[in-house]
Amino acid sequence: MIDAVVLAGSPNDGPLQECSPVLHEALIPIGGRAMVEYVVDALLNSRQIRRVLVVGPEAELSSMLSGDRVSVAGSAGGIMQNIEAGLSRLPGAKRVLLATSDIPMLTSEAVDDFLTLCGDMSGDLYYPVISRNEVEKKFPSTRRTYVSLRSGVYTGGNLFIINPAKFKMCVDNGQKLISLRKSPVGLCRLLGVVFVVKFLTRTLTLHEAEKKVSELLGIKGTVVISRFPEIGVDVDKPDDLELVLKTMGFN
């Protein structure tokens, strides 16, 4: 069994403002319930989740989430600060499942499948990807960001397994990557010319990408291929919300 942290602190100050006036994206209503509630339900119904901690607007979340296995912590700032706030509430945890609050079509089956694929969880970070074929087969109208690799075309998921003891290291080293994102020369120096060329020519493998990220972050990272597009189809624009409402039978 493993504990889960749901990140629900993102302010509703982007494209979804036109869909709802609520102050946080996690609280956007879907069929009379807040979006985050569907994520929490999927986690609680998983056979492998012990407890769920939701980090976000404390007063609103506390009024809608209840039960012995659910708790709420106030937002501490941006996403990294909220992850740290969540992990600090789970002292002694060897591994924690992180989930974003904007994947309301998440199912307990998808959660269980991801956790099973992570095996003994001896790695420090597990990150799911879903093939474009799987996404478009189930949600043909959705538009996602994809990366082309030798073995196929993939999009990223919104569930992660993390080793809390290595979180600070991930943040510090990850910040180096972010600071170089607009510097092609700097990125090439950091990633290596061979890696960049392979990526641009779509000959990079998942294993090579996994190995490079692990080296850069100073951890043991593992990419997991999921067959459940629900973990990758998030709600960050009106079209996404329309798709969710239609798929879930509310539109």
What confidence tens digit (pLDDT) does each residue in 187-216 have? 666 677 777 777 777 788 888 888 888 887
Domain membership of residue 241 (yes or no) is: yes
| Domain-located, residue 17 | yes
Please check whether residue 211 lies inside any domain of the structure: no
Beta bridge mates, 5: 53, 98
pLDDT band of residue 151 (cuts 50, 70, 90) is confident
Binned at pLDDT 50, 70 and 90, residue 161 comes out as very high
Residue 191 covered by a domain: no
Tens of pLDDT, residues 40-62: 999 999 999 999 999 999 999 99
Residues 6+ apart with CB under 8 A from 213: 221
Is pLDDT larger for residue 53 or for residue 182? 53
In a domain, 184, yes or no: no
Query: Span 156-173, mean pLDDT?
Result: 87
User: pLDDT-based confidence at 184, cuts 50/70/90?
Assistant: low
pLDDT-derived band at 182, boundaries 50, 70, 90: low
Residues 91-109 pLDDT 10s: 989 999 999 999 999 999 9
What spatial distance separates the first Cα and last Cα of the chain, rounded to whole Å? 36
Would residue 179 count as lying in a domain? no
Q: Identify the CA nearest to 118 among candidates 63, 22, 48, 70.
A: 48
Burial of 147 (0-12, 13-18, 19+ CB in 10 A): middle
Query: What is the reported pLDDT for 183?
Result: 60
Output the pLDDT for position 175: 67
Report the CATH number that the domain containing residue 76 is assigned in CATH: 3.90.550.10
pLDDT at residue 218 in the model? 82
- Whether 24 has a pLDDT exceeding 60, the answer reads yes
The answer as to whether 243 is a domain residue is yes
Instruction: Please provide the average confidence, as pLDDT, over all residues in the chain.
Output: 88
Q: Give the residue with greater pLDDT, 161 vs 151.
A: 161
DSSP secondary structure code for residue 17 in this structure: G
Q: Residue 105: which domain range?
A: 2-134+154-165+220-247
- CA 143, CA 162: separation in Å to the nearest integer? 28
Cβ distance 51 to 4 under 8 Å? yes
Q: Is 146 part of any domain?
A: no
Structure tokens given for 37:
């509630």
Closest CA to 54 of 169, 168, 64: 64
pLDDT at 197: 74
Instruction: Give the chain's domain count.
Output: 1
